[in-house]
Structure 1
Amino acid sequence: MPADDAPPARNTSPKRRRTTRDESPAPGQSAPQVGSVGSILTLTEGTTFSAPRTPKRASSPIRELTQLCTARPPILQDALAMPTHALSPHVNTRLQALRKRTRQHNMEGYIPRCLKDALGGELAFATALQAEPIDDEAYDDGVDSTREDIADIVERVKAVFQGTELCQKGGKDENGWCLDVVGPLLELAMVLYGHGRFRREIVQSQSIQPAYLSLVLNHSSDPPRERPLFRKTDFCFSYSHLSPQYATLYERLRNTLVAHTTDNFTQRAALFSGVEVKPAGGSLAEAQLQLSIWMAASLRKKAELFRNTFGHESCLDTPAPDPAPAIDEGVDVASTRASTSSPHCPQRDALIEPAVTIIGAEHKLYYALVSGLSDPADPKGCTVSVLGPDRNLAGLSTESISGIFRLARVYGNIFQYGFDEDPKHGYWGAFLGPLLEEVARASNGG
């Protein structure tokens, strides 16, 4: 073959086929399908196509939070000033007393004065205290500590402060905030105000017993079916098995299931409150959803214990025979000398527990209470209201030294409410203590 007739050399560098707007298939032809770059798929009678895979849409926390109010039974997440169900005078009085109690020593007197020199001498705090000095009103003269205790407290505060900085600058996730900030902060509060009564429980991996969950309609199934709405939370508190105040009671309860979880240990522990953590920039709506589900299940379990122990016609469903405490009375310091040896019937208006959401360094306080019984014969059917956040406790943050002490004081107020044995003012004395005493008595045959 002459050289002039030789085919042109093929370019070894593949080029993408150029297309134009007016390029269209000839009549009777199908549009070509592009597979890999530079390849064209020829259609035949045997050619089949698969539907494109689309990622499953994640459930929206806001949508599920909205679903709670129509769930069965409902969980109502309301602002304090706009509850769906009007609170009875007894419940409202106790709630306002608790709110006032949580604010005790929040603006002044929340740092033991014996710590002042140690805080000022800590190099890790020098820049922070120069930028945001601690007012003299923040110090309380009524508490004294040994040198060793002072050093321990300062180290704990430093761990929270430096942990906050590390998590913020490093963009740590939820687990990082739990480990480096929230856990040390809760331990600090228990050292200062817990008196050995509470343990911090990590419940991130624990499930809730399905009987205490609300059901929502799953429209994606055919036909639509109800499904339990389950979300977990991060922390709660248990009345410590190691505390002399509760060790004997736990021994009498033995293997009685007194909590709403499926975990072998915590379902046998008396649980209190709940704390849900999100990283900086995390979803407050999701935190509220998780906290509300946890608190509703916890209160429903306690209501069931009460009904099974005291019967259907009980004072859980009737107002307290004695006047509820006045708001000013309800903020007295917890009485550790009060006795629950004289049994009395717990009251529904005392079944109120505080709980907390945390988004990064910011903490917000809520209050969970039973606001209705959809089925009087079934305490698991309680309508639970989670009210908050409490705007009177705004600006709670671990970004400053004073903020850490303010938060520790708020948690301390929550602890003191939880273990207060006074039958008028305290959660333990008015509700949980006598309830568990009677449960223990019944489980041991009287």
Structure 2
Amino acid sequence: MNQLPNSIEARDVAFQLHSYMDARKHEENGPLVIEKGDGIFVEDNNGKRYIEGMAGLWSVAVGFGEKRLVEAAARQMEKLPYYHTFTGKTHGPSVELAEKLVAMAPVPMSKAYFTNSGSEANDTAIKLIWYRSNALGKPERKKIISRVRGYHGVTIASASLTGLPNNHRSFDLPIENILHTSSPHYRSMKKDGESEQDFAKRCAQDLEDMILAEGPETIAAFFAEPVMGAGGVVVPPEGYWEAVQPILKKYDILFVADEVICGFGRTGNMFGTETFKLEPDIMTLSKALSSSYLPMSALLVNEKVYGPVADESHKIGVWGHGYTASGHPVAAAVALENLKIIEERDLVGHVRDISPTFLKRLHALSEHPLAVESRGIGLIGAVELHHDEMSKTPGVLGARTNMAFHEGGLISRNMGDSMAFCPPLIISEKEVNDMFDIAEAGIETISKAL
């Protein structure tokens, strides 16, 4: 028998397939091994500390090493480590969390349904929407519209919603009945001389034109993030939502707000729905719901969605859908404690307080010769870079900049050539400045090398 590799890096390369990686390149370079975290920092297995400028994956709201979440998990583990929510069974944490989320919702919601990731939440939303159309006797109403550059997950259905090419290539996606309308990225999509408001109206007109071309009676729902995350942190232009929402109402199209990144304080309100005055019929939630300490996600649905679904389940005798870990008691207990921390420490207010410093430093990056634009709101943002000689291979400049940040002690994420910043909500003003000091130095290092 061959001897197993000794180091964790070698074992990783030998046995693990990673998400969002060039698998062959990973075999050559190996992983970054993170061993522990505290506050906004994580530390690798060589003792190097990094500012986690992405809050993990847009998600660790209360920071790393929060003992209250560890203790909440331990208490629930001892009491009831697992039970399901199939066939009318339940337990305290799932009931309390459902009640809490429905009460927190910024628009009237009827029921919560628990899943394990944002992808599963959006996938389930699609199934609910199709089920509802059948319940209403409208089987032709199955098409769903999302947006170019939108991100909604990686399951077969949610990856189809996602409007990013690499989530479709070689996967035989998107599936049938998923359509993509214009991205609301003003700088890259505007016409010469077009104002933000005129651009927003054109995006809305593109949406209406698609609805009319396909047939309004065939369109079931529109999915959108209040602020696009993995598509490059695209903040909608002035007037965008004011132009889009009336079109959805005009044609009686359900609106799904994907709050997986925006929810629980990221935009300066508890939900992006509040920030942009949205009126969704379904909200999908994850990430900061539990600060990703344990997998947890949810859908909130209003009565317009729930009523026909409930009637159809009565007609059939069952709503034939569910996940083994839906409403998992330990994950639900952690989510409840996480929400208590967000409220007790007024982290939403803290985001509002710290956002001016965050945005000032973010926008200062756009003054660098390598930068073409900065985009941000609340405590989420990105700076987009460009260099003529590297423009033929998008993403290479971003990847090099990412490595420069890494060398300086900052974990970011390049989405193409856009560098993202989405730190834990607990970050202090000093730590914001420290983070952008490293980013400035990293961009300057790359600039000099070029």
Task: Please state which band the TM-score falls in when normalised by the shorter chain.
Answer: under 0.3
Q: Identify the structure with the greater helix proportion.
A: 2
Instruction: Tell me the TM-score normalised to structure 2 length.
Output: 0.24
Larger radius of gyration: 1
